[in-house]
Amino acid sequence: MIDAQKVKQAFPILDQLVNDEPLIYLDNAATTQKPEAVLQAITDYYHQDNANVHRGVHTLAERATHSYEGAREKVRCFIHANETAEVLFTRGTTTGLNWVSRSYGDRFVNEGDEIVISYMEHHSNIIPWQQLAARKKLP
């Protein structure tokens, strides 16, 4: 059983009052708050290893690349992907959905197909599909 209070305590930013009320943050799709372990890992990285990933042969670049690929392997394991090559890091949802519509969509969506999305979608999950429909000349 997940202890919600313990999970909340892992996020230092939630330990404050906003408008005299305990902060409750629900805008995670836009910007997700980070737990202490992540904040510490980011701080450690910038203090010790910050360098170009996959584009250097010096020690810091090798360490940065090792950490980056280590994270990819952890994600692969977590989502039960077969290969690390299946794990792509993007800078956000909009970029990711554009990649999906331009790769999967361009390859597999054809004349006569319909693209169905819900009325609740954010722009990031509407525009890429509208653009795909236009490219494929779907009604």
Calculate the dihedral angle through the C-alpha atoms of 43, 46, 52, 58, rounding to the nearest 10 degrees: -120
Query: Which residue number, 122 or 135, has a Cβ lying nearer to ligand PLP?
Result: 122
> How far is it, in rounded angstroms, from Cα 18 to Cα 25?
10
CB of 90 to ligand PLP, least distance (A): 8
CB 41 within 8 Å of CB 47: no
**The one-letter amino acid at 22:** P
CB 106 within 8 Å of CB 132: yes
The dihedral of CA 13, 18, 20, 26: what is its sign?
Answer: negative
CB of 27 to ligand PLP, least distance (A): 7
Query: Which residue number, 108 or 119, has a Cβ lying nearer to ligand PLP?
Result: 119
Query: Which residue number, 29 or 117, has a Cβ lying nearer to ligand PLP?
Result: 29
Query: Which residue number, 1 or 30, has a Cβ lying nearer to ligand PLP?
Result: 30
CB of 97 to ligand PLP, least distance (A): 8
Binding site for ligand PLP (CB under 6 A): 29-30, 92-94, 122, 124
Q: How far is CA 124 from the centre of its chain?
A: 13
Give the position of tokens 């819900």: 118
CB of 57 to ligand PLP, least distance (A): 33
